[in-house]
């Protein structure tokens, strides 16, 4: 399978990529083509590919819907993808590699300068990865008026500034 990326869309055929490029104004020579990749997992909104690339999934054919990631990996990726946050500090690949969230612990956020925001939370996630390794991830949420932030890091200090 091949992947074609325009400014806003992803396609699996050159013909469809050119059609989508006309819709989003991508010049044909700027369509990014990646040969020999396959779709590992797809949700309604995002797709995870074999070359560890996360893309939008809205324009993919409905017939392409593999589910190669664990439910916990899907949950973590979706939390960040659907938020107003940038990519996670730990990287999409770390989240995609999660086999299971083994334990969740809510942590208290203590700030030196200001009190914790009413609309924020921090969790310590003990996770098991594919292959059997274990690690800890920290998941920070901040709930805003019309959206939320979700940041995931392997370092607690990322959220204590």
The structure's pTM equals: 0.91
What was the pLDDT predicted at 145? 83
The per-residue DSSP string of 70-135 comes to -HHHHHHHHHHHTSS--S-TT-HHHHHTEEEEEEEEEE----SSSPPPTTEEEEEEEEEETTS-EE
Q: What is the pLDDT of residues 40-88, one digit of tens each?
A: 999 999 999 999 999 999 999 999 999 999 999 999 999 999 999 999 9
Q: What is the chain's mean pLDDT, rounded?
A: 93
What was the pLDDT predicted at 161? 60
What was the pLDDT predicted at 117? 53
Name which residue leads in pLDDT, 161 or 53. 53
Q: Are 142 and 148 in contact (CB under 8 A)?
A: yes
pLDDT band at 112 (very low <50, low <70, confident <90, very high): low
Q: What is the DSSP letter of 67?
A: B
């Amino acid at each position: 399978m091949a992947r074609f990326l325009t400014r806003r869309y992803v396609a699996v055929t050159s013909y469809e990529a050119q059609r989508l490029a006309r819709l989003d104004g991508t010049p044909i020579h700027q369509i990014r083509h990646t040969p020999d990749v396959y779709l590992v997992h797809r949700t309604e909104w995002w797709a995870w590919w074999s070359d560890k690339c996360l893309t939008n999934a809205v324009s993919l054919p409905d017939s392409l819907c593999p589910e190669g990631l664990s439910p916990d990996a899907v949950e973590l990726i979706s939390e960040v993808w659907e938020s107003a946050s940038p990519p996670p500090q730990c990287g999409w690949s770390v989240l995609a590699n999660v086999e299971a969230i083994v334990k969740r612990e809510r942590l208290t956020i203590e700030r030196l300068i200001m009190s914790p925001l009413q609309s924020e939370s921090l969790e310590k996630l003990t996770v098991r990865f594919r292959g059997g390794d274990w690690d800890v991830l920290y998941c920070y949420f901040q709930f805003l008026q019309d959206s939320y932030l979700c940041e995931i890091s392997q370092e607690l200090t990322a959220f204590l500034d």
